[in-house]
Amino acid sequence: MIADLLTAPAWSALLAMAPDAQGAGGSHAATQVAHGPGWVLLIPFLPLLGAALCGLYAAMGVKSKLPAWTVIGLLAVSFVTTVAMATGFGGADGAAYTVKAFDWIQVHGEHNSFVANFSFFVDTLTIYWMLFVTGLATLIALYASEYMSHDVGTGYCRFFAAFSLFVFSMACLVMGDNLVMLYLGWEGVGLCSYLLIGYFYKKPSAVAAAKKAFIVNRVGDLGLALGLYLTYVHFGTVEYAALFANERLLHYVELAKTGAFDQIPMMAQGIPLLLMVGAFGKSAQFPLYVWLPDAMEGPTPVSALIHAATMVTAGVYLIARFYPVFLASELALPIVAWIGTITALLAATIGMAQFDIKRIMAYSTVSQLGYMFAGLGVLTPTGAAYHTLTHAFFKALLFLCCGAVMHGFAGQLDLRKLSGLRRVKGWGIVSFGMLIGCLNLAGFPLTAGFFSKDTILAEAFVTPGTAVIGWILIITAGMTAYYTFRVFFRVFVGPVEYHPGDEAHDHDHGHEDHGHAHGETHTHDAGHHGDHHGDHFHPHAPGWAINTVLATLTVLSIAASGLYFVGAGEAHGTKTKHYADTMVSASTAGYHSPYSEHAFHAEHGADHNADDGGDHAAPHAGVGPRGTIDEPLMLLGKDPHKIMYYVSGVVGLVGIVLAWFFHYAGRKTASECRMDKVARLFGPIPRWAENKWYVDEFYNATIRVPLRVVSHFFHWFDKLVIDGVVNLAGLSPRIGGWLIRPSQSGVLQGYAAGMVGGVAVLLVVILLVVRFGGGA
Amino acid sequence: MIEKLPQIWPELLLFLTTCVVMLTGQWPSAPIRRLTPWLAAVGLIAAGGASIGAPAGDGLFPGMMVYAKVLTAIVGLMMLPLLAGTVDRELEAQSARGVPFQPIRSNGAEFYAFFLFSLTGLMLVSSADDLIWLFLALELTSLPTYIMVTISTQTTRSQEAGIKYFFLGALGAAIFLYGFALLYGASGTTNIPEMAAYFRAEGLGPIGLLGVLVSLIGVSFKVAAVPMHFYTPDVYQGAASPVSAMLAFVPKTAGFLAIFMVAGVAGWGEDQRLPAEVDAMLWIMAALTMTVGNVLALIQSSVKRMMAYSSVAHSGYMLVGVLAGPGAEGSPFWRNGLAAVLFYLLCYGVMNLGVFAVLASLERKGEEADDIDDIRGLVKTQPVLGWTMVICSLSLLGFPPLLGFIGKVGLFTSGVASGNIPLVIILGINSAIAAFYYLRLVAAAYLEPASDTGFRPSPYLSRQFAGLLSAGGVIALLFAGSGLIKAADNASRIAPPDGVAVPAKHHDAGHTTPAEPAHGHASQPHG
Amino acid sequence: MNPLWLMLLILVPLVGAMIIAFGSGKNAYRDALFASLASLVPAVAALMEFDFTHAGHYQGQWSVSWLEPLGLKLSLGVDSVALLLILLSVLLGPVCVLASKTAITDNRKLYYAWLLVLQSAMVGVFCARDLLLFYICFEFTLLPMFILIRMFGSTNRVAASTKFFLYTFTGSLVTLAGLVYVVKFAAERNGVWSLDIGTLTTAASYMSPKEQAWVLGAMLAGFAVKVPLFPVHTWLPLAHTEAPTAGSVILAGVLLKLGTYGIYRFAIPMAPVAFTEHAPTIAVLAIIGIIYAGLICWVQDDIKKLVAYSSVSHLGFCVLGLTALNANGLSGSVLYMLSHGFSTGGLFLMIGFMYERYHTRDMRKVGGLASKMPVWAFFMVFFTMASVGLPGLNGFPSELLCLISAFQADGSWTAAGEPGAAGVTLGPWYAAVAGTGMVVAAMYLLIMVGRICFGPKIEPEGHHHHEVLPDDLNAREIVTLLPLAVGCLAFGLFPGLLLGAIEEPVNDTVRLVEASHELSGPHAMADSASTAAEGVRP
């Protein structure tokens, strides 16, 4: 199978310079990949221009929506360019190319060189990712132009500068042609995330969240950085073109195919283990997921774009991009799978117990990212990438709907204080968008989310040894459906009731007039129960920009399910099933699980064998990196993909029904429902879940506090011991002086005695010790 | 003896001047009295000039004479303006008011005469080729200074200082005289080159060794090395600053010249090291001297006492050079410890003078500045004095690129090159300790705000001029140092052994046995 | 290259200092600004005339004997590393003068004169080709800095300046002993007494490993204090905290680099075998410094002390790169020397500007300034990010290369299969542990920014508006910051230019170290070669 991959055009282009790709010469090989058209550079650099212009506007004191329109325009052009890049590439048949902006870091030593240029690498995976990144960014910028309008002025410029800079960073991350560029983008998106989470910088919680996001990400970045170093040290290059054509790597993959991991050096096997730490950080996987829920302190468009749709999928991208490297490690993919699964489950349990709808979405993002990681781990990068795409659309949609609610209800996000919004005037599009998003997220049959989730679930069952993962993921799917519709049933349907948030009250909280809640006149107490929508609070229905974006995204989310049926083709000589599969398979992430192929054969045995000359299945049937299987893999006697359609569909429906029963049926007020009684049966467990299983507190107690103690210890150690020794050393001559000062008594006889005594002692010492003591 | 005459022309000229000065110093006519320092200067210039053309000496260090005498003349000249107004102030003031001059109460004549006597002694030390000569010359250097200390101020303090100095000096003299006697006993000659040749041939032997050790310790009184350093603070503080400045240079130089000779008698052997015992003793003395000097200087608030202890410390530094010795024939300056010492003596003489000149130039009711508080903010109130203090202190600190640093580099390099690296490290650490108190002087004079403590510039502007000379010297010698370094290098060369007859002394059996068998066979006298 | 430019680089500030010192003092600021700008002219001229195709050759060589019997010569010449460091020193000149306009109100004559003298001395250090001249300039930098701290520092300035002077002075004296030993060795070997650094370097590599070890130890005694390396770093936080803003900028920007430059220029080429052998030990100290100082930063309330400790932490990376002894490491380290001053210097300026307005550096007393001083906050965040090592800004390329080099310095892992450049074995653990410094840096710097820029606004009690300065930065202050900010960006985006410029000298150094190993016997190479054989497949 791998050998087949190598014959594909993209690979052959890379292989063309394989002889040069060895050792010291490897880094120069990149120049031999075809150079792409220069206009590709517009994709990253237009957003950068946007950021610079917004900075300029800020300096000039622009007080209009000019920054927004500038950024939207530039992003749109960037998106169009991306589309042009995609159409120009030719799908699975296109050959990867690089486009260099300028030399960046180059060290040419005697023995080896380190080359990382400011240069971009375009293959199908890049295109796949960039399409939704730039597309969503444009849409969300449009949304934000209205959403952030209360802050027109410096803050507005700041927002769009960071927003635009984020797209630039993301483009560097996805398009960079080497690991260092990826790292640049990686940290760049981290910075923008930091700046945007902390957008309301007067709010201590926002500042803390921003800080936490950056620092936790840094932990992950450390792993990524170390992985980068190790890649360079082991393979002699960090440039993709040379790296993925590196003979050593290809050899490892070949070995891995037969399960001969013992022949792959531990160093090579360690690289993915380090890279994945970076991925865990950026994509909020256990144990580094804690920053993402807090990141919801940022403005909602930011949550939608960065913390749901794009940046957090960087980890998925990283692993997909480095799939050959991951394959070469015995432990890497299983760990990825398990971490993903644990994260999915854990986040789902927390999500079920939250009351803040944005937080629920945040935990669901963590959970869905867990799905994607599990997908990567169970050998379906396609499934992961597909889920990334669908998730990007529907989660952005969900967040933007939540944002609209928050925008309209003065920052109110508590699902116990909102109900029946569907029937409030002007909220139709929001409610419908929410419904579509929820259906997708819940994996309602025939939605995009359903198909993409299925791919992962099915693969979990066919890959040997990961069935447990499959079961956990199915349970998680049920929980997801439940908590998703819990939000929908409580907030958007049911009796009409709403209480505005407190944002109009507290002027210290950054955005004073947020929510247009006429804070001057009404005296609403947010905690005052039973207070219906009084005369003095008017929900602020979304305007045209928000509605347009929501409508577009709703349409796209629905349309995304169509992707499952289009774009099938061929990559590297193997048939692909749909658009995402084609795009992923034609890239460096191209890897068809032998098991799924096997299962696929079982279903379509005859015609497939006919295509391959009849003997295709036999040699490849059961050999894969995770072991050998002798028989075509079946689940309940069927193709697992087909089976999963039913199983997960049913599970999703059950979740929805449960949510309906507990949160909608018979609910009279916003705050009370049947679930309250049920929750009491579980004792303190819901409270623990609501408090996120006290993971933050646990980290605080086990990491932060001890480290802080150590730091204080060091501080005092430095002051008292190290500096103390220095001071003592400085003081010792003085002490010496005080000690011998009495000898200078001023008494003549004393001096004479001292002199004579000194002479005597000196002579005795010299004569006895040196002369007769053998000291000479 | 007559053939020595060309060598001692400078001394003779200086002696002549001394006699004249002794007369003019108490001449009833004030203008003539005022001529006294000028006459002294003329004498010094003449002596210095005469010594430039003088032939090589007969001593162990034939080239030393010229260097040492020129050095003496230069530093002596620089000190002269500082001496003005040290004695006879009241008397001169009365005389100016018309009171008849009373020579019997005057000290002016003695003061200048003794100053020149002392310098004469120093010059004689440098040309000594005989132990007796050396002893006499050393005493000629010291004895006048006892008087000078005593008469330098009207206070009982300087009398006390003088007495202490005298008694302890006598004790020191006794010790090295005893050592000289032992040397004579061991070698049978008082002629230094012969003695050196004898020991080189016969080995030191226990008596000779004891002689060298005791002589060295005794002579080290002059340089104020531990354990013979006790007198320094009291004497320096008791004496007037000009005299203290002189004490820090003249006896010290004489002492080091004598130490060279005594050490040269013991000889830097094949490996360019002194005999082990001598080496060990000097090592210990050097380390102790630097350290004791510096740590005691560190805790002083009296600048004079601080400078006294620092003078002890500087002797310690220079002992490192003595240990290194002149190096093998033809070795360059950086290996030549003795040259480094000779050059450092010059540097020290120049820069040390500046600090005392500043102290001498500040007066409050006839009392000289002494405490560190007295020089606060001096750069602002008295720029000339202030900058002199700053530059000279930094130079004493060894701050690059000032003269003290250049001088210390020689000690450093010779120490390292001769393998005394631990001692050089001790030197380095001591320089750092010293940096602390010198830095205090710099900071007080330059960086701290002035506070009026009542000190006013001395009416004797020539003192300020001496300071200026000193500071200027610190800078100027940086650029003109090459010739002096070369001269110092030349001066420190030991006379080649050829042509020196080993005295034919016959030992009684059992009287002395060669201590070191290795030397035993080399008993034939040199041709 | 015309040696005139080097001479002018030294003389122009000196003449400026003279003019100020003997002038009335009324125009001290203006004159100093003029002099510091004027010295940019020879700097630019030198840069233009420098032949970068032979960057490893000393250019603009000029020599005149000074104290001939001592061997001391005024001998100048620069390679690209030295030239770039000179440019850095000269560039910081106007920045420091500009930053001081309102901060220094008394004794301006003294202040600006010594500031210029300091610049002169720093240039002297980098262009000296005579060992003693180097040492003279190296030590001379102490005095101006001592005076700047002592006269213009804050409350604890006397102790700080004294400690700064004595600590570094003591170490340097031991260094002098080591250098003199090299001179002695070279003179005995060549038969000629020479202080020429090139001659000494060539001769020194013939020293036996044991001799080299001693010499290395002696050199490190001075250079490590200067860097400062753990555990001889305690003078730095004190000095930085007490120094006036411009003093801190120079201290961080150039003076600390004298230590790493000393290691690069003297310790490595003169004691290559010993350096290789002891590189792991030095690296461990560097790494301890990185983490230890980083954690200490975390618990500081004094913002200046925080940044000062961060310097200790950052310089650890620089030394780590040096200990790796391969092209990546040395390049990264030199780049670090060049670039560190921009971000840390920038932070010190930011703190200085804040201090001028609030007269406190205590983070408990000020906070949330972003709302009142948005421009200030922007620059603060910018320099913080540069300091954190954000890619695209100056800290990143050098940090990356230093860490990579440590990783790579394990002979068994290089791609081409040959042992690590000089046979050093640091290895992945060194890089991994040092890398945690990145996390720690993010921690303390972001917390600092979070406290001081963001959150609710806190101002010290009884705070009045500055009589001269506006709430936010004025034009002069922004102009002061711009060169540093532009530098941060330029270093981050185009480090390739600098790396290319220093490629030749760095590779020369690597070659020299490798050659010395062949000289001193095969054992060192053999060890790593055998491990290399195991780890690398054909």
Whether the predicted pLDDT of C13 surpasses 90: yes
Alpha helices by DSSP H, listed for A516-592, are 544-560, 579-585
CB contact under 8 A, B401 and C181: no
CB contacts, 8 Å: A751 with chain B:
164, 168, 230-231
Give residue A740's pLDDT band: very low, low, confident or very high (50, 70, 90): confident
Write the residue in B172, B213, B233 that is nearest to A744 by C-beta: B233
The two three-digit tokens of residue B421, written as one number: 């690296």
Judged against a pLDDT cut of 80, whether residue B503 lies above it is answered with: no
Residue A386 lies in a domain: no
The larger pLDDT score, comparing residue A381 to residue A612, is at A381
Of chain A residues 241-280, which have a CB less than 8 A from chain C? 248, 251, 265, 267
Residues of C in contact with B481 (CB under 8 A): 67, 70
- Segment C469-495 shows an average pLDDT of 89
Q: What is the structure's pLDDT at A774?
A: 55
The answer to whether position A768 is within a domain reads yes
C183 shares contact with chain B (CB less than 8 Å) = yes
**Within 13 Å and on the Cβ side, how many CA atoms surround A372?**
32
Whether residue C484 contacts residue C95, with contact meaning beta carbons closer than 8 Å, is answered with yes
Q: Judge whether A676 lies within some domain.
A: no
Predicted confidence band of residue C61 (pLDDT cuts 50, 70, 90): confident
3-state secondary structure of A652: helix
Domain housing A758: 751-776
Task: Please say whether the beta carbons of A634 and A599 come within 8 A.
Answer: yes
Mean pLDDT, to the nearest integer, of B34-49? 90
Asked whether residue A574 carries a pLDDT value surpassing 70, the answer given is: yes
Radius of gyration over every alpha carbon of chain C, rounded to an integer in angstroms: 23
Q: What's the CA gap between C383 and C391, in Å, rounded?
A: 13
| pLDDT recorded at residue C532 | 39
The whole-chain average pLDDT of chain A stands at 80
In degrees rounded to 5, what are phi and psi of residue A114?
-120, 115
Torsion of CA A625, A628, A632, A636, to 10 degrees: -90
Instruction: Supply the DSSP symbol for B525.
Output: P
Mean pLDDT over residues C197-211, rounded?
87
- Strand ranges in B302-401 using DSSP code E only, listed in sequence order: 362-364, 367-368
The count of residues in chain B is 527
Nearest to C432 among A184, A226, A707 (CB): A226
Kindly determine whether residue A740 and residue B164, on different chains, have CB atoms separated by under 8 Å: no
Q: How do residues A448-486 score in pLDDT, each as one tens digit?
A: 888 888 888 888 887 777 788 888 888 898 889 988 888
Specify the pairing of strand C59-67 against strand C72-78: antiparallel
Torsion over CA: A362, A363, A364, A366 (sign) = positive
Q: How confident is the model at residue A530 (pLDDT cuts 50, 70, 90)?
A: very low
* ipTM score for this prediction: 0.86
- Residue among B15, B14, B23, B110 nearest B70 (CA): B14
| pLDDT number for residue C424 | 61
| Rg, Å, chain A Cα set | 31
**Chain C residue with minimal CA distance to B430?**
C170
Residue type, A444: F
Q: Is residue A762 assigned to a domain? A: yes
pLDDT at residue number A591: 74
Confidence of residue C513 (pLDDT cuts 50, 70, 90): confident
Least confident range from B424-428, B497-501, C140-144, C198-202: namely B497-501
Chain B: residue nearest A761 by CA?
B227
Residues 6 or more apart whose Cβ sits within 8 Å of residue C184 = B334, B335, B413, B416, B417
Q: Is residue A358 pLDDT above 90, yes or no?
A: no
Q: Taking CB atoms and an 8 Å limit, are B281 and A767 in contact across chains?
A: no
Mutate to test the interface with A, among C328, C369, C384, C458 (most CBs of A within 10 A): C328
Q: pLDDT value at position B257?
A: 92
Residue A343 lies in a domain: no
- The whole-angstrom separation of Cα A47 and Cα C294 is 35
Compute the mean pLDDT over every residue in chain B, rounded to the nearest whole number: 86
pLDDT tens-digit readout, C79-117: 999 999 999 999 999 999 999 988 888 888 889 999 999
Interface of A with B (CB under 8 A): 733-734, 736-738, 740-741, 743-744, 746, 748, 750-752, 754-759, 761-763, 765-767, 770-771, 775-776
Q: Which residue of B has its CA nearest to A729?
A: B433
| Residue A662 pLDDT class (50, 70, 90 cuts) | confident
Given a contact cutoff of 8 angstroms between Cβ atoms, the answer to whether A433 and A424 are in contact is no
Q: Is residue A773 part of a domain?
A: yes
Query: What is the pLDDT, as a whole number, of residue A683?
Result: 77
Asked whether residue A759 is domain-assigned, the answer is yes
pLDDT for C309 beyond 80: yes
List B residues 323-362 in contact with C (Cβ-Cβ < 8 A): 332-335
Residue B170 has pLDDT above 70, yes or no: yes
Strands A497-498 and B456-457 come out as: unpaired
d(CA C245, CA C96): 8
| Residue A659 pLDDT exceeds 90 | no
Chain B residues with CB under 8 Å of A744 CB are: 230, 233-234, 296
pLDDT-based confidence at residue C11 (cuts at 50, 70, 90): very high
Instruction: Kindly write down the DSSP assignment for every residue of B65-129, as one continuous string.
Output: HHHHHHHHHHHHHHHHHHHTTSS-HHHHHHHHTTPPP-GGG--HHHHHHHHHHHHHHHHHHHH--
Compare all CA atoms of chain B with the CA of A758 and give the residue at the minimum distance: B227
pLDDT-above-90 percentage for chain A: 11
pLDDT at C413 over 90: no
B314-362 per-position pLDDT tens digit: 999 999 999 998 888 778 888 889 999 999 999 999 999 999 999 999 8
Beta strand pairing call for A627-628 and B456-457: unpaired
Residues from chain A contacting residue C506 (CB–CB below 8 Å): 109
B67 contacts chain C (CB < 8 A): no
- Token pair listed for C248: 């801190």
Report yes or no on A504 lying in a domain: no
Of the candidates C299, C494, C510, the beta carbon closest to that of A712 is on C299
B-C Cβ pairs (cutoff 8 Å, strict): 90
Q: Please list, in sequence order, all residues whose beta carbon lies within 8 angstroms of the beta carbon of residue A231, skipping any fewer than 6 positions away.
A: A179, A237, A238, A243, A271, A275, A325
Do C447 and A211 count as a contact with CB atoms less than 8 A apart?
yes
The number of domains in chain A is 1
Residues 6+ apart with CB under 8 A from A163: A71, A137, A141, A144, A192, A196, A301, A302, A305
**Residue B459, preceding peptide bond in cis (omega within 30° of 0):** no
How many other CB atoms are there within 10 angstroms of residue A657's CB atom? 14
Give DSSP secondary structure letters for C165-210.
HHHHHHHHHHHHHHHHHHHHHHHHHHSS---BHHHHHHHHTTS-HH
pLDDT band at A663 (very low <50, low <70, confident <90, very high): confident
The per-residue pLDDT for A624 is 61
Distance from CA of B298 to the nearest CA of A (A): 6
With cut-offs at 50, 70 and 90, classify the pLDDT of residue B173. very high
CA distances (Å), origin B511, targets A673, B213, B522: 122, 20, 18
Among C414, C453, C503, the strongest candidate for a mutation testing the A interface, having the largest count of A CBs within 10 A, is C414
Mean of the per-residue pLDDT values of chain C? 86
Find the mean pLDDT for residues B242-255. 92
Cβ–Cβ below 8 Å for C234 and A105: no
Q: Is C277 helix (H, G, I), strand (E, B) or coil?
A: helix
B-contacting chains (≥3 CB pairs under 8 Å): A, C
Taking an 8 Å cut-off on Cβ atoms, the answer to whether B334 and C136 are in contact is no
**C-beta neighbour count of A118 within 10 angstroms:** 23
**A619 pLDDT band (50/70/90 cuts)?**
very low
C27: pLDDT strictly greater than 70? yes
The confidence score (pLDDT) of residue B136 equals 93
Pairing of β A623-624 and β A627-628: antiparallel
> Which of A66-70, A240-244, B364-368 has the lowest average pLDDT?
B364-368
User: Do A96 and A10 contact (CB within 8 A), yes or no?
Assistant: yes
Nearest chain C residue to A220 by CA: give it: C439
Separation between Cα atoms, residue A136 and residue A119, nearest integer Å: 24
Contact A112 C428 (CB under 8 A): no
Q: What is the pLDDT of residues B355-383, one digit of tens each?
A: 999 999 988 887 888 888 888 888 888 88
Q: Is B480 on the interface with C (CB under 8 A)?
A: no
pLDDT computed for residue A454 by the predictor: 84
Whether C377 shows a pLDDT value over 80: the answer reads yes
Q: Are C67 and C49 in contact (CB under 8 A)?
A: no
pLDDT band per the 50, 70, 90 thresholds, residue A596: low
The Cα of A745 is separated from the nearest Cα of chain B by a number of Å equal to: 9
